[in-house]
Structure 1
């Protein structure tokens, strides 16, 4: 069952997250507050959407497997859902840095405390199984061999890039559609994107709502990577992008289209995070600062002010549980935060 959270829900439905306005850079920015969502397992934000179907599954899986980075939000979220189901959770990752292995912190510490079984693979083995930066896409990464992951395990690719995430994201699409129906003009729905899972399923379920355009901001790699990832996921989940291009989100990237180095310490992104905080909008430090910078340099830039009648809605995907570990990284690097 879903426990009472900031937005209440039942086992099969989440209450609609609110939409709030914030004054940022002289613009009123509308924000869909999915960071306010919470499942009974404690999973919040975007992961509450993606894992809604898994948490509601009855009977639940006895064993869950996934892979990804050492401080992944999805890792911590899956650990919480597995714990709620009383299931084992095997998580495959690259070798931990010595300092993190000696003193786990952040999402890693939380996931381990929930019983996650960490499986460290040598860099070469990890790359051969799951790709390594431009290799195998998370949406099509095959499950590990039976010697590593028993056949009965439920396998979820990195970032929840799987069909199991679609039902929860479909509820988000319905909320947006119902909110926008009595309004006029066009709506630009802007989504920070890692694997592109949320953006893809949103576009799929809003494809018949012609007034709404879903924009995916690549926070990992560049536009080519995120488009390839979404196309791969679409094929894996029975989509029809080939016959209906509106089912694929549009890509919104910095002018010039340079790849974004996910997780890299960045003074401009830290400044964007601090600016949002001063406006009363608390966001994560991995996705939102980059996505907001792109948004203000593109759709909300001064050069485009007054163009058309589009309203912009930014999706707050949560991830606040990882902020403190990111701030520690900035402090270790000499930043004053």
Structure 2
């Protein structure tokens, strides 16, 4: 069948809207008619080949849509089901079998290669391969074939045009707080960077009852939104030293600090803002080879921990419905973060995301 899709043909080029051929879903695949897809920083770094993937390709990994058809081995969903799409995993390695699919031993191949295991692609153009299965889904296409491990069924009354970002960015931020760091009611938390991931972390911390939630960013407009989402304090790090200010607010430092920026200097600030036995979590995606240094001598007696976090340590089929439940309760107001764009305006969506004008762009299909 034919499908409209946004294709990247070479590194650092804009997306091109074109028509591709889509093959039939394999036995372990689900064909989905996309309603909408979130725009994520990971799509941008793949577009620019900071993380290498097959080109030309269809990216997109925060999709939401309706099941059109299923492969012969698929039992989790049926045609007509409404779904949100998460990351992919093999389901067979020791990490997947231990309930940690975000650390799948085949994570890169399953999510970034742009190819099936047999090196075929779901998309083609003029008989030539076009990369597919980005994060198991390649959701910047009106129709796409999705790995069954990426598919999460949701209730029929939820707004699919809103929920796609739960597939990656928002579940990463919320999962970092709830799953990875294990923040509890009464804890103190600092979130560095109030983009989509950081805002999700703030909402999650507020939802579970953290008593001090400190948002750190360079933009006053984002800090104002952070207050609406549950931050009890805000710090503009352009004007104030965040480490000193956090210690002033808390007395010793925070129990948990989450760095959603991936900027080396910010990661160091997050670590320096910790209380005794505190933990810093890193969910930003710096370029491969990036290094960060920490002062060891004086901090040795403080017993602090450093943790890298992938996909919020989430199991999509479990965690995404939990976030939908929080949204229903008004505790996870995704609608305050998003702006929608028709798929034809996808390059504008990426530009507005990069400039900081929009926290979470979502592209929509007819």
Note whether the superposition's TM-score is higher than 0.5. no
TM-score (norm 2): 0.33
- Larger Cα Rg: Structure 1 or Structure 2? 2
Pick the structure with more strand per residue: 2
Pick the structure with more helix per residue: 1
